[in-house]
């Protein structure tokens, strides 16, 4: 998929674990895993907002476009 | 769900009656005192006439069986699942095929029955054809719905 979700990079920067992020944004670890592995078909703005709020970053920090 | 369960049971009972009816017809033909050569001598299909009707009935039951399998899929899984869509498509095609054969059979042998019976049976077979086409349409809707559901499940 051309859109890559770089949540791992921000998690490492903020020294946070995946399960902690999932708990803080009200998401299951399974869904977060789907997001991280690029299997998600779409992301809601509310989810993106929650991730950016917890990780204190911009959407561009976690979303990247790579031409196929 | 309750309505699907009721429909499932209704189709199941219909199939039981259908099987009993076909069994009764076959027993009458083979074990009864009917002389097929005498009764069907002047029919267009000859002694094959009752067997053609039985074949159409068996096709109809196969179609209903497939629809029942699709309903079973709705009860066990979600409404939008590929297996149910496939069974609905198969059932719909069989219903359409059997109704077309029944209509053709009715018109070919129409001169041997009274006009009222021919008209009534033609209306019933046309209704069956419409139901078959409707089942095919529902199958398409279920298939497209499954795609939408999958996308929705993978929307985080």
User: pLDDT (tens digit, 9 = 90+) per residue, A10-56?
Assistant: 999 999 999 999 999 999 999 999 998 988 989 999 999 999 999 99
Residues B154, A34: C-beta atoms closer than 8 Å: yes
Specify the pLDDT at position A15. Answer: 93
pLDDT beyond 90 at B61: yes
Please spell the DSSP secondary structure of chain A, one letter per residue. Answer: --EEE-HHHHHHHTT--HHHHHHHHT--HHHHHHHHTT--SB--HHHHHHHHHHHT--HHHHEEE---
How many structural domains is chain B composed of? 1
Residues B89 and B64: their CA atoms lie apart, in Å, by: 11
Q: Which of A3, A18, A42, A45 to mutate to test the interface with B (most CBs of B within 10 A)?
A: A42
Residue of A32, A39, A47 with shortest CB distance to B154: A39
Residue pLDDT, tens place only, B5-19: 999 999 999 999 999
Quick one: tokens of B16?
């039981």
Chain A positions contacting chain B at CB under 8 Å are 27, 31-32, 34-35, 39-44, 47
Q: Using a CB-CB distance cutoff of 8 angstroms, which residues of chain B are in contact with residue A27?
A: 156
Q: Using a CB-CB distance cutoff of 8 angstroms, which residues of chain A are in contact with residue B154?
A: 34, 39-42
Smallest Cα distance from A34 to chain B, Å: 8
Beta bridge partner(s), residue A42: B155
Q: Using a CB-CB distance cutoff of 8 angstroms, which residues of chain A are in contact with residue B146?
A: none
Residue pLDDT, tens place only, B31-59: 877 676 677 767 777 778 888 889 999 99
- Number of Cβ pairs closer than 8 Å across A and B? 23
Q: Is B116 on the interface with A (CB under 8 A)?
A: no
How many structural domains is chain A composed of? 1
What number is the ipTM of this complex? 0.81
Q: Is B33 on the interface with A (CB under 8 A)?
A: no
Mean pLDDT over the full length of chain B:
89
Specify the pLDDT at position B117. Answer: 82
Smallest Cα distance from B152 to chain A, Å: 8
Residue pLDDT, tens place only, B68-115: 999 999 999 888 999 999 999 999 999 999 999 999 888 887 666 677
Look up the CATH number of the domain holding residue A53: 1.10.260.40
Rounded to the nearest 5°, which phi and psi values hold at B88?
-65, -40
Structural domain boundaries, residue A57? 3-65
């Amino acid at each position: 998929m051309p859109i890559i979700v770089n949540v791992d990079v921000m998690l490492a920067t903020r020294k946070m674990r995946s399960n902690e992020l999932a708990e803080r944004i009200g998401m299951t670890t399974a869904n977060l895993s789907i997001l991280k592995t690029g299997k998600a078909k779409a992301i809601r703005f509310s989810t993106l907002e929650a991730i950016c709020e917890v990780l204190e970053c911009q959407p561009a920090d976690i979303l990247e476009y790579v031409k196929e | 769900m309750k309505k699907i369960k009721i429909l499932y049971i209704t189709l199941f009972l219909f199939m039981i009656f259908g099987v009993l009816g076909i069994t009764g017809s076959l027993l009458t033909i083979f074990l009864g005192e009917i002389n097929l050569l005498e009764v069907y001598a002047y029919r267009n299909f000859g002694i094959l006439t009752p067997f053609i009707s039985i074949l159409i009935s068996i096709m109809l039951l196969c179609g209903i069986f497939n629809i029942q399998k699709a309903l079973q899929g709705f009860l066990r899984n979600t409404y939008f699942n590929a297996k149910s869509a496939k069974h609905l498509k198969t059932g719909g095609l069989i219903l359409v095929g059997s109704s077309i054969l029944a209509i053709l059979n009715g018109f070919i042998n129409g001169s041997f029955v009274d006009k009222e019976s021919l008209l009534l049976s033609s209306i019933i077979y046309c209704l069956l054809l419409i139901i078959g086409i409707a089942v095919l349409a529902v199958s398409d809707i279920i298939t497209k719905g499954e795609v939408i559901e999958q996308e929705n499940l993978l929307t985080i």
